[in-house]
Amino acid sequence: MQDLVNVVTLGSIYLLFALGMSITWGTIDILNFGHGSIFMFSTFSAYLVLAETSLPLLPVVLIGVLVGAAMSLLIQVVAFEQILKRAKDKRTAEMQILIGGIGVAIIPLAIAQHQTKSNPFGLSESSYQVGTWVIGDIRITSIAALTVVVAVLLWAATAIWLKRSRHGLALRAIGVDAETAALMGIDRRRLALVTMAASGGMAGLSGVLFTYSLGAITPESGDTLLVKAFACIILGGVGSMLGVAFGAYFLAAAETVVLTQTSGSWVEAVSFGLIFLVLLLRPAGVFGRKEVRRT
Amino acid sequence: MIAFYDTNLVLIQATLSGLVLALAIQVPLRMGVFSFAGAGSYGIGAYLSAILVLRQGMPGPVAIAVAVLVAAVIGLLLGLLIFKLNGLYLAMATVAFDLIISVIAINGGDLTGASTGLYGVLTDFTTGQMFALTVLVVGLVALSERGRMRRRVDAVRDDPELAASLGINVRRYRLVAFVVSGALGGLAGGMNVMVRTAIGPLDIGFGLIVLALTMIVVGGSRSWKGAVIGAVIFTWLPDVLAVIGEWQELVYGVIVAVAAVFLPRGLYGVIVDLTKWLGRIRRKRRTGGAEQPVDAPESVEPERVELDNTLSREQGGEVARMAAQSEVS
């Protein structure tokens, strides 16, 4: 039972993180390799603020979300928009964005590594104390409960927004055919900025919540999570909201099984192995529809 | 010269292995195969040759040869599995492959030395041999960038359907990319472990992919010269940047980011553009201001050019060639 609680908590962290990557990749075709850096650096910003003054939970979360959104917007404007403007076709643009994201991600990482000397940092200066509830023989921390609730609500809200609202429709239209969407009067640039900001905010949110529940993270934590989030998205199918949730909880479950059955150091291989298996057996993912060919 | 060589021996060795590693990622990229598997092959090559030397007492060069062969075969098997994937999917599958190799290295127990890695790999492999091998490899790669071979590779990358319709076996080319990448990566890893005498899981993680990629992105991804420029810059830059002191990591990051966004063809692309531009200015001066777009002779109408009597020798030849062609057609 305790394992199940852990799976749900871990899966919710993965979901929050992967959701941000999934909405940009599934709609505006941006696989943002800076996402891990945003995750880490917004937490790091909160940590810096907390070194000055002690704050309760809500302002800390807010700092994380705002810094994440701001960083994501900045990357979109200075890097990805410039790449898209210059690239001659979609395929080169995709690869350039991947490489550009890796390049941009080095900068916040370098700053954080310099400031912390690559040591772990946490949010323990916050006035919010993580509580623990014990029901029978199950332990649930308050932050774990909060993470699960936030992740599920945010995921549902995003899914409904994409499915039901006019903006969501416009965004999905871009994902299917950007040119036709533009002809229908959709402002691609503005929607892309909104999407990137939302994605960055989710990265910041997941960073703060993850750090609260784990105690501390290292500047390099973002990189590992990036590959795991990729596994979640691939597993469920790119662009599928149901898929990313399935992927996140499935990965968490698989990792927990491996963690409890083996000595522990094979856990990292689970996500990499999953990526491999899915790409080989079912490249479109479990819930993915066949990709629309546009050539 | 000798004093310089002695004080900078470690950097020279790092440049050579960095260059071969960069080529291991660049060669498939040039064929349109977006594979980072070279970094994983580097890990295979480094660990396997270290194990062969430590456990079997093999001489250094033999161990490297075996490691290169094995890395190439694993490259082929990986290629057979995933060569159908495209773009980002292929990139991420190969990243996963690289990271699996490092997880295996951590979990290898005594064989791979777990998280401490392997050390004390002492052999008779010299820097001279390393230099010779690197030159040989670079020469081979350079050959593939000339003449028919270059045109075929370009076709496979830019338009696989067209290439197939011209009778080029695209599948075979893509598989060759995996094999070459595996062999080059294995060679880079093997050589590096011989001269550095140690290898650990941290040396072959995500950072290695980023390093190889930054070398190519900043140097230039379309030519071996770009890989050379990148390898030299990123091995020597930390030393130069030591002047800036504690912020060198940040400067490094900014350079990579700017190059990735604004110089898609890298520094080598900038150099090519500059020489073209300079050449045009010089030609302009020689022809008294009447610029001839020599880059694109096809767009020049022969009749008009013939009226211009300030043609250079080469341009004259070009006109004659075009005239002959139009006669044939």
Tens-place pLDDT, residues A250-268: 999 998 888 888 776 788 7
Mean pLDDT of chain A: 85
Q: Which of A77, A238, A258, A279 to mutate to test the interface with B (most CBs of B within 10 A)?
A: A279
Q: Which residues of chain A does B100 touch, with a Cβ-Cβ cutoff of 8 Å?
A: 269, 272-273, 276
Identity of residue A51: A
- What confidence score (pLDDT) does residue A155 get? 93
Phi, psi of A54 (to 5 degrees): -80, 130
Cβ–Cβ gap B257/A103 under 8 Å: yes
How far is C-alpha B122 from the geometric centre of its chain's CA atoms? 28
**Which residues, in sequence order, are bridge partners of residue A217?**
A121
Q: Give the three-state DSSP class for A133.
A: strand
- What confidence score (pLDDT) does residue B291 get? 52
Strands A121-122 and A216-217: antiparallel
- What confidence score (pLDDT) does residue B321 get? 56
**Minimum Cα–Cα distance from B215: chain A residue:** A103
Lowest model confidence (mean pLDDT) among A13-27, B87-101, B275-289, B307-321 = B307-321
- How crowded is residue A288: how many other Cβ atoms within 10 Å of its Cβ? 20
Taking only the tens place, the pLDDT of each residue in A165-217 is 888 888 888 877 878 888 888 888 888 999 999 999 999 999 999 998 888 88
Restricting to A residues 24-63, those with a Cβ less than 8 Å away from any Cβ of B are 31
**Minimum Cα–Cα distance from A112: chain B residue:** B250
How far is C-alpha A267 from the geometric centre of its chain's CA atoms? 20
Residue B254 is nearest to which of A98, A107, A265, comparing CB atoms? A107
CB A286 within 8 A of CB A266: no
- Beta strand extents in A63-131 (DSSP E only): 121-122
Taking only the tens place, the pLDDT of each residue in B259-313 is 888 887 888 888 888 999 999 888 888 876 555 555 544 444 444 444 444 445 5
Cβ–Cβ gap A272/B259 under 8 Å: no
Give me A1's structure tokens: 């039972």
User: Which among A104-118, A149-163, A280-294, B79-93 has the top mean pLDDT?
Assistant: A149-163
Would you say residue B96 has pLDDT above 90? no
Q: Give the three-state DSSP class for A45.
A: helix
Contacts of B243 (CB under 8 A, 6+ apart): none
CB B53 within 8 A of CB B60: yes
Task: Pick B321 or B73 by higher pLDDT.
Answer: B73
A77 inside 8 A of chain B by CB: no
Taking only the tens place, the pLDDT of each residue in B182-235 is 999 999 999 998 888 888 887 887 888 888 888 888 888 888 888 899 899 888
Q: Give the three-state DSSP class for B268.
A: helix
Query: If you ran DSSP here, which 8-state letter would residue B113 be given?
Result: T
Would you say residue A292 has pLDDT above 70? no
Taking only the tens place, the pLDDT of each residue in A106-136 is 889 888 888 888 788 888 777 777 777 887 7
Could you give the CA distance from residue B236 to residue B10 in angstroms, rounded to a whole number?
A: 11
A268 inside 8 A of chain B by CB: yes
- What confidence score (pLDDT) does residue B325 get? 54
Closest approach of chain B CAs to the CA of A228, in angstroms?
10
Cβ–Cβ gap B96/A276 under 8 Å: yes
Q: Which residues of chain B does A78 touch, with a Cβ-Cβ cutoff of 8 Å?
A: 261
Mean pLDDT of chain B: 81
User: pLDDT band at B72, cuts 50/70/90?
Assistant: very high
Task: Pick B184 or B32 by higher pLDDT.
Answer: B184
Q: Which of A275, A280, A294 to mutate to test the interface with B (most CBs of B within 10 A)?
A: A275
Task: Pick B181 or B150 by higher pLDDT.
Answer: B181
- What confidence score (pLDDT) does residue B204 get? 84
Residue B85 is nearest to which of A100, A111, A283, comparing CB atoms? A283
Could you give the CA distance from residue B89 to residue B95 in angstroms, rounded to a whole number?
A: 10
Q: Which residues of chain B does A268 touch, with a Cβ-Cβ cutoff of 8 Å?
A: 99, 103
CB B296 within 8 A of CB B304: no
Closest approach of chain B CAs to the CA of A127, in angstroms?
32
Would you say residue B73 has pLDDT above 90? yes
- How crowded is residue A88: how many other Cβ atoms within 10 Å of its Cβ? 8
CB A104 within 8 A of CB B260: yes
- What confidence score (pLDDT) does residue A119 get? 83
Could you give the CA distance from residue A188 to residue A192 in angstroms, rounded to a whole number?
A: 6
Q: Please give the C-alpha separations between residue B184 and each of A160, A169, A225, A254, B245, in angstroms, as whole numbers.
A: 49, 47, 29, 35, 34
Q: Which residues of chain B does A79 touch, with a Cβ-Cβ cutoff of 8 Å?
A: 257, 260-261
- What confidence score (pLDDT) does residue B307 get? 41
Phi, psi of B222 (to 5 degrees): -100, -5
Could you give the CA distance from residue B277 to residue A129 in angstroms, rounded to a whole number?
A: 64
If you write DSSP's letter for every residue of B57-99 in order, what string do you get? ---HHHHHHHHHHHHHHHHHHHHHHHTT--HHHHHHHHHHHHH
Residue B93 is nearest to which of A87, A103, A275, comparing CB atoms? A275
Cβ–Cβ gap A103/B89 under 8 Å: no
Lowest model confidence (mean pLDDT) among A3-17, A99-113, A274-288 = A274-288
Cβ–Cβ gap B87/A107 under 8 Å: no
Would you say residue B131 has pLDDT above 60? yes
User: pLDDT band at B77, cuts 50/70/90?
Assistant: very high
Could you give the CA distance from residue A55 to residue A50 in angstroms, rounded to a whole number?
A: 7
Q: Which residues of chain B does A102 touch, with a Cβ-Cβ cutoff of 8 Å?
A: 210, 213, 260
- What confidence score (pLDDT) does residue B289 get? 57
Restricting to A residues 120-179, those with a Cβ less than 8 Å away from any Cβ of B are none
Give me B191's structure tokens: 């050589």
**Minimum Cα–Cα distance from B247: chain A residue:** A114
Cβ–Cβ gap A98/B91 under 8 Å: yes
A284 inside 8 A of chain B by CB: no
Q: Which residues of chain B does A273 touch, with a Cβ-Cβ cutoff of 8 Å?
A: 96, 100
